Structure 1
């Protein structure tokens, strides 16, 4: 009897995942290289880059996306850069920060942040309802604007029973308006004569996500990056009490559509705090700090290229005027509340 040998077991392909992300990763690296070269050229011609590499990477990525939407072949690598690469950059940023900066800010700022978040949620919800938005959509927009954009929307959605369409629409808006905030907020520095510390606090109070705060403050100064990141972290920590309050209000009867419960504190924030703690304890050698900072800056430019490649401006045009007005109105109220808090605390 002829014995047919069995087929050898399939061996894992260690480079399969790398091959899947290579096209999008290469595209992001190319956009980042072009942005860095353009920033360097500005510095050579005028002594300083008028548009930082971070901002240029977003603009170039958005322009490419507007000309032609990347196909599925490119998307895996773009997603890795927009999420994982940026999260690693945020973690590395912790090595340049001492936790003493947070304690030096004083309790007034910490209490004020909590107050701004609470008032921003209430006013954002009121604006949405006044414009005729359904309860769930108004809640998603209010929480996304007031706390941390996509993370807040993803955490709140299952608690209030929001459906996937509402979540997708709200997240699309935070993507577009998050980029607009990153690009537009630095304009307020000369207009309002803000110090680096005041601008950092303003960015931390208003910009949606931790990585976007990094992008908004990096072109201004390292001091802005530090205070902006710390203020933003306090805002993110408000997500836990807000989700708990909404859960108590709904009696735990949310999540009818199977939306997953998300972690309230993302891993990269924990990593950021861990490295900041090590820096504060003197456990990171001083010679290692400049390379870590340079690595964080480079990864941020790459991730901003991916962020721009993921922005579809047409989403705003197709969502309808009521949702657009609700998002814009909520964001303007948040900026006004934040400036008011800075004035009360005497941070100029």
Structure 2
């Protein structure tokens, strides 16, 4: 038994080392962007999957790398999802009022269903439609990365979803501030609008900090509420994925171990059972492992096959963003936020 374990561990080393190398290059390029332009237009997560895909597309990898690449794309990603729970606290958000929190939850669920429907009508595979819907509605690449192992999405769909979502995420950050006068938004309204439509927390700050401190604060808060939806959504998808099973399985076996871990760490963080000094390392580890898993996904994808889906995916992402924007403005008006 020990020989098999040692042999299996040795088999994944070359592939994991290659994933680590791609990850290091992605971090270096992100740092170079910040040095040259003052900000990273493409984050290391996106760069990792792009670099990995480029390597795979233009260079035939030796068979010895495959086991480590598969391990990186699945197991490493699942560990990252667990650690992500330690960086999310529900307690501070629950103090901000049930109306706004409930409204955000309703909008997220509506947009997931709407985006999924758009994707299916556009002819996208079911799993890819789910990835894009969750990415647009919750937190972009992180949501796609978390949902992918639950629905057993293939590398090609994950890579395409992340690539297109990443591009439109940057576009939203650039365009959003110009909508303040066009839509006659107050600083509070713009903060909510940005928090509801921008994919990642750093992107929310980029889209709001230059406008006002109020917008940045409320935008970050709203964004965190959206991030909190990731746990319940992934849990529901996990249960739905097993609804056609011929056997009744205990709930403990129906829910993936990493989702249980994610929810457990989030609960511990919310009740302040995780020491403050451990939160930042957990957040960094989750981020690093996520990027490493994206490098693995990229290394498993030939970009030429991904680009075939480009036109339809673009249309779906654009329409999904429009649905999210309209729903977000509707929430602001419904709650009477001035």
TM-score, length-scaled by structure 1: 0.67
Question: Could you give the per-residue CA deviations for residues 305-337 of structure 1, whole angstroms, max 9, x where no partner exists?
Answer: 21221232222456xxxx765544433332221
Question: Could you give the per-residue CA deviations for residues 29-55 of structure 1, whole angstroms, max 9, x where no partner exists?
Answer: 111112223333444555544443323
1:84 aligns with 2:71: no
- Indicate the structure with greater helix content: 2
What displacement does 1:115 show? 2.0
Cα pair distance change 1:328/1:36, threshold 3 Å? closer
The SS at the match of 1:283 is coil
Q: Distance in 2 between matches of 1:116 and 1:86?
A: 25
What displacement does 1:56 show? 2.5
Are the equivalent residues in 2 in contact too, given 1:102–1:230 (CA < 8 A)? Answer: no
1:99-248 matched pairs, under 5 angstroms:
99-100=90-91, 103=94, 104=96, 105-128=100-123, 142-143=129-130, 145-147=132-134, 172-193=156-177, 201-202=196-197, 223=220, 226-237=224-235, 239=237
Cα pair distance change 1:266/1:185, threshold 3 Å? farther
1:1-348 matched pairs, under 5 angstroms:
12-44=3-35, 47-100=38-91, 103=94, 104=96, 105-128=100-123, 142-143=129-130, 145-147=132-134, 172-193=156-177, 201-202=196-197, 223=220, 226-237=224-235, 239=237, 265-316=255-306, 326-346=312-332
Q: Distance in 2 between matches of 1:235 and 1:19?
A: 36
The SS at the match of 2:3 is coil
Q: Distance in 2 between matches of 1:305 and 1:95?
A: 23
What displacement does 1:340 show? 1.4
The SS at the match of 1:12 is helix
Are the equivalent residues in 2 in contact too, given 1:31–1:60 (CA < 8 A)? Answer: yes
Q: Distance in 2 between matches of 1:28 and 1:172?
A: 17
The SS at the match of 1:76 is helix
What displacement does 1:271 show? 1.6
Q: Distance in 2 between matches of 1:154 and 1:271?
A: 14
Q: Greater shift after overlay, 218-227 or 271-280?
A: 218-227
What displacement does 1:89 show? 1.8
CA RMSD of aligned residues (A): 4.0
Q: Greater shift after overlay, 283-292 or 36-45?
A: 36-45
Are the equivalent residues in 1 in contact too, given 2:108–2:226 (CA < 8 A)? Answer: no
The SS at the match of 1:17 is helix
The SS at the match of 2:229 is helix
Are the equivalent residues in 1 in contact too, given 2:115–2:320 (CA < 8 A)? Answer: yes
Cα pair distance change 1:235/1:76, threshold 3 Å? same
Cα pair distance change 1:125/1:229, threshold 3 Å? same
Unaligned runs of 5+ in 1: 1-9, 129-136, 158-166, 205-215, 256-262
Are the equivalent residues in 1 in contact too, given 2:131–2:161 (CA < 8 A)? Answer: no
